[in-house]
Amino acid sequence: MNNIIKTIHTNKLKKGMYIHELDCTWINHPFARNQFIISKQDDIKKIVDAGIKTLKINTEKGLDVVKNKPKSIPVKTNPNLTSQKESAAPKRNNLIQMRREAKKIKRHAEHAITTIMSNVKLGQQVEMELVTPIVDKMAESVLENHNALLGLSRIRHMDTYTFEHSVNIGVLMMSFAKYRRMSPQMIQDVGVGGLLHDIGKTLTPPEILNKPGKLTDKEFIIMRRHVVDSKIILEKTPGINQNALDVAALHHEKYDGSGYPDGKKEDEISQIGQMSAIVDVYDALTADRCYHKGKDPSVVLKRMLSWTNSHFNPQLIQEFIQCVGIYPPATLVMLSNQHLAVVVENTKNILLPRVIVFLNTKKRETIEPKLIDLSKQEKLKVITSESDKNWNVDPQKYLDMI
């Protein structure tokens, strides 16, 4: 593992970094805690004013020191690995690196959202300076190969649902926008919107937000209020634009007009709003919540397709399925030779992803985990997706092996 604790000079400090240790005794510094995320420019000033020259940061919990490289986003013309004739080894190393980087980005994003939400709860504004560097990183990763971040979106912890859901919506919106060939600026905007779309939930009473069981009609009215609150909070945020606002304001509107808060329908909902409604339902149904177990992505996609003429724009839902694949990264699948595998990434043929095979179910024998590109195999194909809970398998374990 890389060094996650780094000693840096205070002149390298910036918002979003996580202080692991200030290079002074606790009594000499003006903070209540020794470890915290820098959420305000003022925190940096306080550290410098306290005469602290060096300190330790944790690069897993916050931003790393900026490396001197060009700021532009590396847009690759064809990120689909299957069409490139490379040897297996560099491809594998590349995937490992991308997954490592994606994990780090996801952790940073969750920390940033946690900080932003607790600041908003205290009545503070959303600080775009905390959001922008994260979205820049996410955009880099998504534009390089969105499978790395998408594969991580299946890791869920019930107690941190709102933060993880926010990051997932950011990742899914950016991947979807990239798939639809939207501009890099638009990809950034929907990433910001995705990360902040549920910021209004900071005002929802926790007993309603985390209620295990069905909400009463009265509670549901209060729950729905988070959309209007998100909009109000974000409208007051300096530096936010209309595209990001649309994600927050429209993610519960439905194509047939049965959504909320305004019951808008069809073209009254912007394209970004229509995309966010699809992404929000997909992530909510695949997640484990306090009141239901998450469904497997392919089951959820099938169910969403059956609602096509009511809840979602039929054209967009097709495009979304093409984007995430029938078998999204980290899905467990049964192959035609009865081997069990985990999906690593999609190929041009969404029915034939790249997978890691690890179990011969006929012989009930584990096999040496092996990366296979099904789109390049003549005979092998996916028969069905399988529930990782039923097989008691953690797909991430195998993804980490590649």
Residues that bind Fe ion (CB under 5 A): 198
Range 112-116, long-range pairs (CB < 8 A, 24+ positions): 112/16, 112/37, 112/195, 113/163, 113/166, 113/167, 113/195, 114/160, 114/163, 115/37, 115/39, 116/39, 116/196, 116/199
Write down the least CB distance from residue 280 to Fe ion, Å: 6
* Complex with Fe ion: residue 20 or 311, whichever CB lies closer: 311
- What dihedral angle (degrees, nearest 10) is formed by the CA atoms of 387, 391, 396, 401? -130
Write down the least CB distance from residue 270 to Fe ion, Å: 17
Contact 165, 198 (CB under 8 A): yes
Write down the least CB distance from residue 198 to Fe ion, Å: 5
Write down the least CB distance from residue 25 to Fe ion, Å: 45
Burial 299-308 (b: 16+ CB within 10 A, else e): ebbeebeeee
Write down the least CB distance from residue 242 to Fe ion, Å: 19
* Complex with Fe ion: residue 15 or 165, whichever CB lies closer: 165
What gap in Å lies between CA 108 and CA 167, rounded to an integer?
10
* Complex with Fe ion: residue 226 or 339, whichever CB lies closer: 226
What gap in Å lies between CA 207 and CA 78, rounded to an integer?
47
* Complex with Fe ion: residue 95 or 131, whichever CB lies closer: 131
Question: Hey, is 37 helix, strand or coil?
Answer: strand
Write down the least CB distance from residue 226 to Fe ion, Å: 6
Which residue's beta carbon is nearest to the bound Fe ion? 198
Of residues 278, 214, 219, the one with CA closest to residue 252: 278
* Complex with Fe ion: residue 90 or 206, whichever CB lies closer: 206
Across the beta sheet with 18-22, what order do the strands follow? 5-9, 54-58, 18-22, 36-37
Write down the least CB distance from residue 150 to Fe ion, Å: 20
* Complex with Fe ion: residue 172 or 326, whichever CB lies closer: 172
* Complex with Fe ion: residue 20 or 251, whichever CB lies closer: 251
Q: CA quadruple 286, 226, 209, 258: dihedral positive or negative? A: negative
Write down the least CB distance from residue 197 to Fe ion, Å: 6
| 200: Cβ contacts below 8 Å, ≥ 6 apart | 225, 226, 227, 228, 229, 230, 231, 232, 233, 248
* Complex with Fe ion: residue 18 or 320, whichever CB lies closer: 320
